[in-house]
A and B are shown apart, each in its own frame.
Chain A
Amino acid sequence: MSVSAIVMMVIAMLIVWGGLIAAILRLRAHPEPPEQMPPGTRPAE
């Protein structure tokens, strides 16, 4: 493999896979508050 191809492959993996990890961490840092349901209701299954 040429150097430029290796560099582009590594950059692609870092940006896209890194972006996924960053997005997951960011979302996990903000857990959703529990849903407020009117009394006597439950979500449909």
Chain B
Amino acid sequence: MAEQPREQWATRAGFLLAAIGSAVGLGNIWRFPAIAYENGGGAFLLPYLIALLSAGIPLLIMEYAIGRKYRLSPPAALRRMARPAEAIGWWQVVISFVIATYYAVIIAWAVRYVGFSVGQQWGDDPEAFLFGDFLRAPEAPSFLDGYVPGVFWPLIIVWVVVLAILAFGIRRGIERANKLFIPLLFVLFAALVIRAVTLDGAATGLDALFSPNWSELGNGSVWVAAYGQIFFSLSIGFGIMVTYASYLGRRADLTGSAMVAGFANSSFEILAGIGVFATLGYLATASGVGVDEVAGAGIGLAFVAFPAVISEMPLGALFGVLFFGSLVIAGLSSLISIVQVVVSAVQDRTGMRRMPAVLGIGGLVALVSVLLFPTESGIYLLDASDHFINQYGIALAALIGLIVIVWVLRQLPSLQQDADATSAIRLGHWWRICLGVITPLVLGWMMVDSLRSEFEDNYEGYSTGFLLSAGWSVAIGALLVGVILTLMPWPAGGEDIDLDMEAPADRKDR
């Protein structure tokens, strides 16, 4: 009776490239440089490295160990640990669902901006172009407004590409795509950085980024920012790494892989910091202002500051294609991993085959994304969902998940044994201390910190009604839907989970 085992990565490099592709995303390019600049510049390196070693890599190792041990996606894996813990797994799956719906939209904008770079359609005022001509955003968010075809169609293309890659499966889809994406991303971004550091004023920008302000290290918020950056940029806490590791072979070196993935992610962040700040230095010099006046993060940095630079510099079109092309590739490789969490969770729990799962479940994510976000108020919805799902979705689910796994279920010793059995670097007491004490404390502090600022001022000055309906409800809704999915009777009954992910009907034939 030949059984077909679970899908598996073809090579170790394939898994690593996919894990790196997932971790390296938009946040590496547009979040890290600004966070480092605002939190001590060169001195930020110290808390950042400590956060990488004491929280980032230990968490990666834990997620790899859970995925490889149970060879199941988060809900089913956590259910194997203890039945009620399944709810945390589904909570993470719903968070991934929400993130995927708006993350794809930013990739769609970047696709359009690759084209806009060539003709520099934004003219003299990239900000007015972005919000007015391109997104057609009203002054304040409203719930009944029209669709924006300029976002709608590229979004459809993004979803077709993502679902097509997922439909080919782990080896022929995700692994092959990342084997192409990651080297391509490196080449594009390296070319961009080389151009950036040779611009006039690049040194001014790099000076602003790397000048150390050591006194900042006494400031607790700088340390929270360092842990927050490591945490959000490594794609940990919402099931991606558990899912990807569930397709690993039994003999995979977990600790070594986590070290490579963790350092590769940070390596790209340093490269992005150099590229972004060299470019901002050029913009500041050309406009005769200080770097502090042009430094920014997120959408403003990518879709307002960079277009301004592209218009200013010789061969700007090429620079624009490199920059927005990098955003598209970095975003796609992350989006693929986020959607795979949802698809594989449903497959593991129902025994559904890959193709119907990708088309049905992945298609549902795409449908929600296409219905809600390419609208005139889509930008506001995106901004609020992103803020609340990050703070009270990813970070809170990670904190609760960690406390349950470490302190309630006391799983670390067995996970450590499992990781040590196949890894060249053995985990010591430090690993358990990092996960049991340091990481929960810092995550808890982050939570208190952000809750406090939430109640001091409305996020971005939005109305309380809008924040309740587009922010808090999304974050709280993710938890509630997670609990409902746990209580739902699944077709496979939850017990009869076949690791080969074939439909139960097929099993009878053998």
B260 touches A44 (CB 8 A): no
**Beta-carbon nearest neighbor of B2 in chain A:** A40
Q: Is B461 located at the chain interface by the 8 A CB criterion?
A: no
A4 touches B42 (CB 8 A): yes
A24 touches B260 (CB 8 A): yes
A44 touches B6 (CB 8 A): yes
Question: For residue B501, which residues in chain A have a CB less than 8 angstroms away from its CB?
Answer: 44
A32 touches B5 (CB 8 A): no
A27 touches B211 (CB 8 A): no
Question: For residue A7, which residues in chain B have a CB less than 8 angstroms away from its CB?
Answer: 42
A-contact bits for B46-73, CB 8 A (1 contact / 0 none):
0001000000000000000000000000
Q: Is B320 located at the chain interface by the 8 A CB criterion?
A: no
Q: List CB contacts (< 8 Å) of A1-34 with chain B.
A: 1-2, 4-9, 11-13, 15-17, 19-20, 23-24, 26-27, 29-30, 32-34
Contact status of A12 and B210, CB under 8 A, knowing A4-B42, A23-B263, A24-B260 = yes
Question: For residue A41, which residues in chain B have a CB less than 8 angstroms away from its CB?
Answer: 2-5
Contact status of A13 and B206, CB under 8 A, knowing A5-B211, A35-B249 = no
A-contact bits for B401-428, CB 8 A (1 contact / 0 none):
0000000000000000000001011000
Give the distance in Å from the alpha carbon of A44 to the alpha carbon of B210 in the complex: 48
Contact status of A44 and B5, CB under 8 A, knowing A8-B210, A8-B212, A13-B270 = yes
A16-B263, A26-B424 given; 17 more Cβ-contact pairs under 8 Å: A1-B203, A4-B212, A5-B42, A5-B210, A6-B210, A7-B42, A9-B206, A15-B45, A15-B49, A27-B253, A30-B256, A40-B2, A41-B2, A43-B5, A43-B8, A43-B171, A44-B7
Give the distance in Å from the alpha carbon of A11 to the alpha carbon of B247 in the complex: 36
A27 touches B257 (CB 8 A): yes
Give the distance in Å from the alpha carbon of A6 to the alpha carbon of B260 in the complex: 26
Q: How far is the CB of A16 from chain B (nearest CB, A)?
A: 5
Q: Counting chain B CB atoms within 10 Å of each CB, which of A13, A35, A37, A45 scores highest?
A: A45
A2 touches B207 (CB 8 A): yes
Q: Count A interface residues, CB 8 Å.
A: 35
Question: For residue B252, which residues in chain A have a CB less than 8 angstroms away from its CB?
Answer: 32
Contact status of A16 and B267, CB under 8 A, knowing A27-B424, A29-B424 = yes
Question: For residue B42, which residues in chain A have a CB less than 8 angstroms away from its CB?
Answer: 4-5, 7-9, 11-12
Give the distance in Å from the alpha carbon of A36 to the alpha carbon of B422 in the complex: 14
**Beta-carbon nearest neighbor of B7 in chain A:** A44
Q: Is B264 located at the chain interface by the 8 A CB criterion?
A: yes
A-contact bits for B256-277, CB 8 A (1 contact / 0 none):
1101101110110110001000
Give the distance in Å from the alpha carbon of A19 to the alpha carbon of B4 in the complex: 39
**Beta-carbon nearest neighbor of A30 in chain B:** B424
Q: Counting chain A CB atoms within 10 Å of each CB, which of B12, B42, B264 scores highest?
A: B42
Question: For residue B2, which residues in chain A have a CB less than 8 angstroms away from its CB?
Answer: 40-41
**Beta-carbon nearest neighbor of B250 in chain A:** A35
Give the distance in Å from the alpha carbon of A38 to the alpha carbon of B499 in the complex: 15
A32 touches B45 (CB 8 A): no
Question: For residue B494, which residues in chain A have a CB less than 8 angstroms away from its CB?
Answer: none
Question: For residue A6, which residues in chain B have a CB less than 8 angstroms away from its CB?
Answer: 210
Give the distance in Å from the alpha carbon of A29 to the alpha carbon of B253 in the complex: 11
Give the distance in Å from the alpha carbon of A35 to the alpha carbon of B10 in the complex: 11
State the 4 A-B residue pairs at the shortest beta-carbon distance, nearest first: A8-B42, A20-B263, A23-B259, A27-B256
A-contact bits for B1-22, CB 8 A (1 contact / 0 none):
0111111100010000000000
Can you show 16 pairs from A to B with CB atoms below 8 A apart? A2-B211, A5-B211, A5-B212, A8-B211, A9-B209, A13-B270, A20-B264, A23-B259, A23-B262, A24-B260, A27-B424, A30-B253, A30-B256, A38-B3, A41-B2, A44-B501
Q: Is B169 located at the chain interface by the 8 A CB criterion?
A: yes
Give the distance in Å from the alpha carbon of A13 to the alpha carbon of B272 in the complex: 12
Q: How far is the CB of A33 from chain B (nearest CB, A)?
A: 5
Give the distance in Å from the alpha carbon of A44 to the alpha carbon of B498 in the complex: 13
Question: For residue B49, which residues in chain A have a CB less than 8 angstroms away from its CB?
Answer: 15-16
